[in-house]
Amino acid sequence: MYMTFRWYGESDPVKLWQIRQIPGVRGIVSAIYDVPVGEEWPHGKIEELKATVEAAGLELSVIESVPVHEDIKLGLPTRDLYIDNYAKTLRNLAQAGIRIVCYNFMPVFDWTRSQLDYELEDGSNALIYEEEVVQRMNPLSGELQLPGWDSSYRKEDLRRLFDHYAEVDAEKLWDNLGYFVRKIMPVAEEVGVRMAIHPDDPPWPIFGLPRIITDGEALDRFLRLYDSPANGLCLCSGSLGADPGNDMAALARRFGAEGRINFVHARNVKHTGEKSFQESAHLSSAGSIDMAEFIRALRDVDFDGPCRPDHGRMIWGETGKPGYGLYDRALGAVYLNGLWEAYTKERAAAASGVLE
């Protein structure tokens, strides 16, 4: 496993030189944010991003994300055009040496929270999800605020999308995902790119929209859509772990042993209700997920891909993009690297007979 860090480009308050100083972090997870969803990413823009990252002494390890156009998720006749553009983007990324691409298949909304600045007991601020609050929200009112999403759609466009999705249930969404996967994975195989689907966050339906990448059974069904190392997972402990029924260490061992984990998001959450949670520090004791056991499971299956500390709290008075401050994610990166080093040395000692 090697440590990476999410960076949102030149407008990100967190700077590359700061990330470079986090012990053990060698890779950057980023994307191109000024190309409309569904259009081909120009090779020149990709090379420019890569050059900027490398000039800071880091490597561009993962693209997160190349968004999937809603027409693909809806199964509209226009989807083939957007899938063709997606394939061209993969070819351009591969030409620039990018080998891992993360994406999701969540209808309309990406990760969703009910509050962005909830104050925890220690005075830090975190993202939270309260099911009762979300149930009262009207996504068509124009009042819903989600970082990076709330400026994506005009009100009339959002209403049109909801009208289209009235005809799409979970099985239809599976059909549309299968169509996309079977079209795009041969291209990924050809150019040497490994795809990593991100689980739904939270892993249950919201606003009447289906969500299907939610648990171990769903992950297994997804992988069977196209049996290839190119068709893999972004195993996100915070997204899947929001459901207490998902054992993250068991999922890591199961799918890691099959070689189908292409990327890891390490994040902790504290369950506060059946479908409610608060994001917490990465430390195992801070949340409901045993992060130490999750990382041990990845070590046990010899996971050798990128990992990034996912959303963090806003601590020490830091402001900026909620969940993406520097300080708490930096602490998370060091903590995760420490766990990995300890398990690696423990394993080496056992193999040499020092430990019995």
pLDDT at 67 over 90: yes
Domains of the chain: 2-340 (3.20.20.150)
**Would you mind telling me the total number of residues written for the chain in this entry?**
356
pLDDT of res. 157: 81
pLDDT at 356 over 80: no
pLDDT of res. 136: 87
Q: What average pLDDT does the chain have?
A: 94
Summarised one tens digit per residue, pLDDT across range 72-124 is 999 999 999 999 999 999 999 999 999 999 999 999 988 899 999 999 999 99
pLDDT of res. 148: 46
pLDDT at 141 over 90: no
Helices of type H across the chain: 16-20, 43-55, 70-74, 79-95, 131-136, 155-165, 170-191, 216-223, 237-241, 248-257, 291-300, 327-352
pLDDT at 185 over 50: yes
Q: Is 93 helix (H, G, I), strand (E, B) or coil?
A: helix
Summarised one tens digit per residue, pLDDT across range 271-329 is 999 999 999 999 999 999 999 999 999 999 999 999 999 999 999 999 989 999 999 99
Name the amino acid, one letter, at 60. L
Tell me which of 355 and 207 has the higher pLDDT: 207
Mean pLDDT throughout 196-216?
96
**Predicted structure pTM score:** 0.94
- pLDDT band at residue 166, thresholds of 50, 70 and 90? very high
3-state SS of the chain: helix, strand, coil percent to 5? 40, 20, 45
pLDDT of res. 223: 98
CB of 338 closer than 8 Å to CB of 324: no
- pLDDT band at residue 199, thresholds of 50, 70 and 90? very high
- pLDDT band at residue 71, thresholds of 50, 70 and 90? very high
- Give catalytic residues, as residue numbers: 198, 236, 265, 310-311, 324
